[in-house]
Amino acid sequence: MNEKFKGIFPALLTPFDESNRVNTKVLEELVDYNLKKGVDGFYVGGSTAEAFLLTDEERLLVMKTVSGRAKGKCTLIAHIGCISTAQAIRLAKAAQEMGYDAVSSVAPFYYKFSFNEIKKYYFDIVDAVELPMLIYNFPAFSGVNLTVDNIKEFLNDDRFIGVKHTSNDYFALEQFKAAYPDKLVYNGYDEMLLAGLSMGADGAIGSTFNFMAEKFIKIREMMAKNDLTGARKIQKEANIIIQALCKVGVMQGEKAVLDALGFDFGPARAPFASLTEAQKKELLDVVMPLL
Ligand code: MN9
């Protein structure tokens, strides 16, 4: 059953129109573009989608738009994480109605909840819906580090299918996989996919996959054939791009790249600042020749 969850999953970005509304048409175009490249699925409504800068109604619209376009064509995971349990359950129930294959959530953050509170948050969600849950561990942004021992308290339950590990602690990634070989571990930092795969990741969820999924699909194929030299060459090329994105702001930069590729993507939502023309030029000069 876990086979369909393995592979390369773009964490979809959210396009906005001139009035700062979610641009569903461009989102559909982005979905089609990536399906054509052969991605295995989509991670919908995550950090990369600016989830915490969207209203719940906008998050539902994003989920609906993607499922309407991609359902039946690939695997769909909805990130429904909120810091309120009730709000997260509302989104999770909607994901179930829309036909998503799984839900995922970052740990509730900001109030420094105890681990027991965090644990109850996740169990309340899986008790409320039939969909399996993928834990999203992202200590750098959420401020909550779910340790290997913490994660084990979830993975012992069948309803938890695995963990999206956005952390450069690759020892922890290896420890999850060693303890639970049948559960899923997704690599979270695209610039270290090679490391993640070599330590046992089943696939990856990433923001730069929005516009260069083919590179990561190839890295995964090469690693499966033990072609480390080939995989390294592509990772190196991708990392020149990611380094340029990090310099200007990853999400803003990715949107500028998609604009340059012909998608009417618009800027990231405030307080994210728009890129200056000089920043755009500096970025695109590095990125476009490598795509
Ligand atoms: O989902 C992504 N994390 C965020 C994972 O966007 C916060 C990554 O794909 C990074 O954006 C990427 C660049 O650091 O690896």
Active site residue 186: no
- Please indicate whether residue 223, judged by its CB atom, sits closer than 6 Å to ligand 1: no
**Predicted pLDDT of residue 1:** 59
Mean local confidence (pLDDT), 105-119:
97
The catalytically annotated residue of 136, 180, 186, 189 is 136
Nearest ligand 1 atom, CA 166: 5
CA of 264 to the centre of ligand 1 (A): 22
CA of 242 to the centre of ligand 1 (A): 9
- Please indicate whether residue 47, judged by its CB atom, sits closer than 6 Å to ligand 1: yes
Which of 250, 251, 257, 272 best tests ligand 1's pocket when mutated (most atoms within 8 Å of CB)?
250
In whole angstroms, give the CA distance from residue 188 to residue 166: 4
- Please indicate whether residue 104, judged by its CB atom, sits closer than 6 Å to ligand 1: no
pLDDT in tens, 18-72: 999 999 999 999 999 999 999 999 999 999 999 999 999 999 999 999 999 999 9
Active site residue 164: yes
The catalytically annotated residue of 43, 100, 121, 164 is 164
**Predicted pLDDT of residue 252:** 97
pLDDT in tens, 144-166: 999 999 999 999 999 999 999 99
